Amino acid sequence: MEYQDFLCAVEEQLNSKLKEGVKAKVYTAQKNNGREKKGILFESKELRASPAVYLEGLFHRFEKGERLDVLVQEILAFYESIEGRESWDYHYFQEYDKIKDKVVFKLIHTKKNERMLEHVPSVQILDLSMVFYVLLQKDEEGTTTIQVSNAHLKMWGIDWEELYTRALKNASALLPAEFFTMHHVIREMLEEAPGETEHLVKERNERENLLSQTGKQQKDTMYVLTNPARYCGASCVLYPHVLEMIGEMLEEDYFVLPSSIHEVIIVPTSHGLDAEEMDKMVKEINETQVAPEEVLSNHAYFFRRKEGHLMFQKQEPSQT
C-alpha cells in the first residue's frame, strides 16, 4: 500500500468513527522549500482552528505489520485529547493590535521558495529571506503559528516596515537567542532524562547559554546558535547585536554553517577549514541529516568582526 492509499484508508475509517459534525479529510500542506506534506485534517464547527495530523510515522509502523484499526484508534485518541482544549479565535487574529506582540520571523532560502514569496511580505538578506509569522502558542508540545501573508497586511492596514520592526523586537523577547558549545549540545542529547520537565531543561540551558554568561567563557571548536523552542532558530543570526556579541566572545572571525532552518553552527576561523571545505560540510549535512523542508542553504556564510555583518563565504578584507 502506498502512502496516499494509506491516508485514504485512514480517512474512511476515521469518518466511520467520528461523532456527528466532525469530518476527517486528506490534506496537503505547502511546506518550506516548495515541499508538500500530506496528512489528515479534522474539520468541525466547534474548532476554530482545524488540526492537521501528519502520518508518515504511523505509515512506517503499518508497513512493519501494525494493524490499521489500532493506528486509527491512536489518531482518534489524539484528536479527542485536543478537542476540548481552549482554541484561539480567528476574529482575534483579524485585529493587528491584538496580535502585534506575537509577530516574529524566520529565515528561508529565497530561490527555493519563490512561489511562496509572491504571496507573503519578506525582506531579503543575501540569498535568504525573512518571512513573518504569528506565534500563537509555545509549550512543551510544540508551537502553533500562522504565516503572515500580503492579505494580512492589507487587512491590518500596516506596511512591511512596521511588521519588520515589530518582528525584530518580539523575536528577541519571545524566542531569545541561545548560544551553546557543541559539547553541551551533544551532552544534552545523550543525557536527556525521560520525563524531564520543561522547567529543568530551561534552567540548565539558561546556565549554559554563553550569551547570558559573564566572565571567562567556555571554549570549543564548534558552537550552536538557536532559540529555546528549537524552532526556526537560524533566524537568531539576524537578532540585533547577537553576531557581534559572539565575535567578542570568540575574539576572532567565524564561519556560520546553516545546519537547518532551526539552528546554525558557529566555527571560529582558527578551528575551521577553507571556505570550499565548509560548503562541502554543509551540503553533506543537508543530504544526510536534514529533512528537505528543513534545509536553509547549501553553503557556509562568514562573519568578519570588522565588517559587522553576515557575508558570503570568507572574503579577504578590502584594502584601504
- Is the per-residue pLDDT at 48 higher than 70? no
Q: What is the pLDDT of residue 319?
A: 46
Q: What is the pLDDT of residue 118?
A: 94
Of 125-129, 205-209, 266-270, the poorest mean pLDDT is in 205-209
User: Can you tell me the distance from the alpha carbon of 127 to that of 115, in angstroms, rounded to the nearest whole number?
Assistant: 15
C-alpha distances (whole Å) from 6 to each of 1, 10, 291, 305 are 6, 6, 22, 53
**Crossing angle of helices 3-17/56-63, nearest 10°?**
100
Higher pLDDT, 253 or 193: 253
Task: Count CB atoms within 10 A of the CB of residue 320.
Answer: 3
What length is written for the chain? 320
- Is the per-residue pLDDT at 88 higher than 60? no
Each residue of 170-194: pLDDT tens digit? 999 999 999 999 888 888 777 665 5
Helix (H) or strand (E) holding 60: helix 56-63
Q: What is the pLDDT of residue 221?
A: 87
User: Can you tell me the distance from the alpha carbon of 132 to that of 88, in angstroms, rounded to the nearest whole number?
Assistant: 19
Each residue of 188-226: pLDDT tens digit? 777 665 555 566 666 766 677 788 766 666 788 899 999
Each residue of 128-170: pLDDT tens digit? 999 999 998 776 666 778 899 999 999 999 999 999 999 999 9
Mean pLDDT of the chain: 86
In the three-class reduction of DSSP (H, G, I as helix; E, B as strand; rest coil), residue 287 is classed as helix
Q: What is the mean pLDDT of residues 240-258?
A: 94
Q: What is the pLDDT of residue 80?
A: 80
- Is the per-residue pLDDT at 239 higher than 70? yes
User: Can you tell me the distance from the alpha carbon of 148 to that of 131, in angstroms, rounded to the nearest whole number?
Assistant: 8
C-alpha distances (whole Å) from 126 to each of 93, 107, 173, 199 are 32, 11, 25, 37
- Is the per-residue pLDDT at 90 higher than 70? no
Share of the chain above pLDDT 70, in %: 85
Q: Which residues pair with 29 in a beta bridge?
A: 37
Q: What is the mean pLDDT of residues 225-241?
A: 94
Q: What is the pLDDT of residue 38?
A: 85
With cut-offs at 50, 70 and 90, classify the pLDDT of residue 242.
very high
In the chain, where are the structural domains located?
A: 3-83, 93-172, 178-312
